Chain A
Amino acid sequence: MTSDTPARRRFRVFSRRPGAPSRARRRVGAAVRMLAALALAGGVYTAFTPGAFAEDNTQLSTAAQQGKELFDNSCISCHGRDGQGVQDRGPSLIGVGSASVEFQVGTGRMPMTRQEGQAEQKKPQFNTDETKQIAQYVQEIGGGPQIPAGSLVDDLKENPESLARGGELFRVNCTSCHSFTGAGGALSSGKFAPSLHDATAEQIYAAMLTGPQNMPVFGDNQITPDEKREIITYVTKQLQENQDSGGIFNLGGYGPATEGMAIFLIGITILVFTSLWIAGKS
């Protein structure tokens, strides 16, 4: 999506987004290492317990089988065998669906370092294909919400009013935590709603559908798939691509707090230096 387009022209204040090419390279490197480790570990494991997976694997699709391997290596310690969950370590994954996996694993929130309310966004441990495989596996063992196929963003040429409708829905449902500009916001006791500026359409869709961590669930009965698409259209087209009407710097979109800082750090500072110069002895 847009967040990985290197040709983003704007200066960003407090940008937390690393340069796209290097991240991609690192991701590939990590994936290669991971695959090698997996192959080794999986090979050793299957060599010693040859019959362990024999019956289960028959019901799973190829992708899910690969996902299961990844799951059994990386996720099983907390989410238990077949995603049944482990008391006090990780919840059951029965019924969470592939959307949840794609969000949690795809944004690097899973694997989690420890059980807590706020899952930190990290560098994803799995590449897109692997994430999809794990998601497929979790989907096949327990079912649950899925990200629909097809474009998640409306074409504004065909459907221009979807932008305004998306904005309306965004302000009713999303801004209270993610703020008007999508810059995110603080929640109680150290938790926070993340910025949406780097979120992809799939991630936004999955987040709405599954309610990760403390985010409420916005099921399809409440916000229909069409409405979700409109919200995503608003976030991606308006907030991500077109955030800076009226300036080159948008001061992070944090509102009056950074504007107040700017007037002192820039306006007052320049003018105080000017007055120092005016009254200085030449």
Chain B
Amino acid sequence: MKRRKLDPAAATANFAKGVDDRFQAATPLRGLLNKVFPDHWSFLLGEIALFSFIVLLLSGVFLTLFFDPTMKEVAYHGSYLGLRGTEMSGAYESALNLSFEVRGGLFMRQMHHWAALLFMASIVVHMARVFFTGAFRKPREVNWVIGVVLFLLGFFAGFTGYSLPDDGLSGTGLRIASAIMLSLPVIGTWLSAAIFGGEYPGELIIGRFYIAHVLLIPGILLALISVHLGIVFKQKHTQWPGPLRTNENVVGERMFPRYAMKQGGFFMAVAGVIALMAGLFQINPIWLFGPYRAAEVSSASQPDWYVMFMDGLVRLMPNWQIYFGDYSLPPLFWPAVVGLGALFTLPMLYPWLEARKLKDTRTHHLLQRPRDNPERVGIGMMALTFFIIATISGGNDVIADKFHISLNAMTWAGRIGLLILPPIAYYMSVRICLGLQQHDREVLAHGVETGIIKRLPNGQFVEVHQPLGPVDDHGHPIPLEYAGWVVPKKMNKLGALAPAVKGFFYPVEKPADIPVSPAPISSGEREEISSKS
């Protein structure tokens, strides 16, 4: 029998045919290859979160191979001399072994931790982008809510992970968590007893946090992230207004090859930044914290940054306790339970609140420049200011210590700042937005300032404006409609001057050429001039 020669092209075609016979993949695949995505730097912020989540999953799986979530007491006999012979929980011992006995284990641990910080940081930055550009409006309200839930889940994933090594610092955090549970009215002691399996700290909590941290929360996170992306895919990405762009189309580049390559490259860049930080910056040196002991504590005890706002609110809360006969409501309840709850539910409701206020039931696929909705920017800045002050107050003892400020003064500054700075931020950002709006309208109505000053016959000086559109019979520009996008405000944007030099490290405009000294004037020319006069 004659052996048939293998033809790669035919084999591939055959394979593809077989796939399509079974899954009817050709048409949807073409749709995927051709899908158009708009391009803007701010659309990439959410990707940072997605990519750091992937790094978290990969590094986290590695860590589970070595971590042992037991609270049984053991004596440490590893290579870290500073703890040798110390009694500690099995969880802490395995976290130490992971750091010191596993080749590259410390690097993976630090990568996991930095990726977690980056995950939460990029979620916040991404959320701010979505909020200030109005990307949460109909039809994307549900995706906004999912985003807020993702932050909340990240918060709990982070807290449970931070607690797992059972070291001195995280144990302090766990103690505060138990106090927050206790502060709930009526059910507080029951809730704490249920979660800790009896009296704090018990011997179960690390195991319970472990399963929450490696299975329950990441499972939900993964599911919700998939839904989040699926909805973005289905609804197609929002875009900025601009030439050719309408509410009914998407202007950008096809998914393959350019957009997908950008995504792939950006993933590598995000992973690279995480790896660099994990290698160069020490994070959470648990070996210095020692095993958790209820009597031991360190000054500057803080949670990771995304929990710090809550800790800050707790620090700033005055000592107001409410008594109901024999029962009482501790002050911890307000910032930690009510505050946390409000900080998550209010943003969730915001899309509907805004739509209701503006009586806006339309569908929006075009983004709004922040200046075009001053009220939203004001509210956002107010919330952001509140969050930032709370976060700073979460580290107010470090600031007090390192900048030699009184700790008590820091607390008071935080208390007062929390009340007066958000309204100021609201007022200022609304005014700034209105001012920017007005300037846009002014340029559209009168044209771009040219910098040329003209003196009128009556002695008055006026600046000459370059109209952006046609002019009427008197030479006055006909006012233009605002299109929701950048209005050119400099002559070089109109091509009247040399284009601005692009780049971070160059001046915005090219320096003027140094005047070259004129060539020696020949005597003939001179004569010519004199003869003319």
Contact = CB atoms under 8 A, between A and B. Distances in A.
Interface of A: 14, 156, 160-161, 163-165, 167-168, 171-172, 175-181, 183-190, 192-193, 234, 238-239, 244-264, 266-268, 270-276, 278-280
Interface residues of B, number: 77
A164 B86 contact: yes
A185 B404 CA distance: 10
B285 A167 contact: no
B95 to A, nearest CB: 13
Contact of B289 (A14, A180, A187, A273): A180
B287 A245 contact: yes
B86 to A, nearest CB: 6
Contact of B82 (A164, A255, A272): A164
A187 B407 contact: yes
Given A190-B408, A268-B118, 18 more contacts: A161-B84, A164-B82, A171-B290, A180-B168, A181-B288, A188-B408, A189-B407, A190-B405, A239-B288, A247-B279, A247-B282, A251-B282, A255-B300, A268-B121, A271-B270, A273-B504, A275-B47, A279-B41
- Nearest 7 Cβ contacts at the A-B interface: A185-B299, A260-B305, A247-B282, A257-B395, A190-B406, A275-B44, A279-B41
A245 B266 contact: no
Contacts of B284: 255-256, 259
A263 B114 contact: yes
Contacts of B304: 256, 259-260
B82 A257 contact: no
A172 B297 CA distance: 8
Given A163-B81, A244-B282, A250-B282, A255 B118 contact: no
Contact of B118 (A164, A178, A245, A263): A263
B299 A175 contact: yes
B48 A271 contact: yes
Given A185-B397, A256-B308, A260-B117, A171 B40 contact: no
Contacts of B280: 247-249
A279 B285 contact: no
A193 B299 contact: yes
A245 B121 contact: no
Contact of A167 (B43, B83, B110, B401): B83
Contacts of A271: 48, 118, 122, 269-270, 273
Contacts of A280: 41, 502
Given A164-B81, A171-B296, A245-B282, A275 B41 contact: yes
B402 A274 contact: no
A267 B282 contact: no
B135 to A, nearest CB: 16
Nearest to B504: A273
Given A172-B296, A192-B401, A247 B110 contact: yes
Contact of B404 (A192, A255, A260): A192
A168 B285 contact: no
A236 to B, nearest CB: 12
A184 B117 CA distance: 25
A261 B270 CA distance: 18
Nearest to B502: A280
Contact of B305 (A160, A161, A179, A259): A259
A252 B405 CA distance: 18
Given A267-B121, A278-B41, A172 B289 contact: no
A161 B86 CA distance: 10
Given A180-B288, A246-B110, A279-B39, A172 B295 contact: yes
Contacts of B279: 247
B298 interface: yes
B142 to A, nearest CB: 26
A165 B76 CA distance: 13
B81 A176 contact: no
A183 B300 CA distance: 9
B100 to A, nearest CB: 8
B125 interface: yes
A160 B293 CA distance: 23
13 contacts: A171-B290, A175-B168, A176-B297, A246-B285, A247-B279, A247-B282, A251-B283, A252-B402, A260-B305, A267-B121, A268-B125, A272-B125, A278-B266
B439 interface: no
B45 A186 contact: no
A245 B281 CA distance: 10
A186 B298 contact: no
B251 interface: no
A48 B461 CA distance: 83
A89 B499 CA distance: 71
Interface in B362-418: 391, 394-395, 397-402, 404-409
B121 A263 contact: yes
Nearest to B120: A263
A245 B296 contact: no
A194 B139 CA distance: 56
A263 B305 contact: yes
A136 to B, nearest CB: 34
A257 B303 CA distance: 8
Contacts of A263: 114, 117-118, 121, 277, 305
Interface in B228-243: none
A255 B305 CA distance: 10
Nearest to A252: B402
Contacts of B300: 179, 183, 185-186, 254-255, 257
B169 interface: yes
A251 B110 CA distance: 14
Interface string B249-274: 00000000000001001100110011
Between A160, A175, A184, A234, the greatest number of chain B beta carbons within 10 A of the residue's beta carbon is seen for: A175
Interface in B81-124: 81-86, 99, 106-107, 110, 114, 117-118, 121-122
Contacts of A276: 41
A9 B100 CA distance: 22
A178 B282 contact: no
Between B295, B395, B405, B502, the greatest number of chain A beta carbons within 10 A of the residue's beta carbon is seen for: B395
B192 interface: no
A242 to B, nearest CB: 8
B85 A161 contact: yes
A186 B407 contact: yes
Contacts of B287: 245
Contacts of B398: 186, 254-255, 257-258
B302 interface: yes
Between B114, B305, B306, the greatest number of chain A beta carbons within 10 A of the residue's beta carbon is seen for: B305
Contacts of B270: 271
A218 B185 CA distance: 42
A273 to B, nearest CB: 7
Nearest to A167: B82
Contacts of A264: 121
Contacts of B122: 268, 271
Between A176, A185, A280, the greatest number of chain B beta carbons within 10 A of the residue's beta carbon is seen for: A185
B295 to A, nearest CB: 7
A186 B396 CA distance: 9
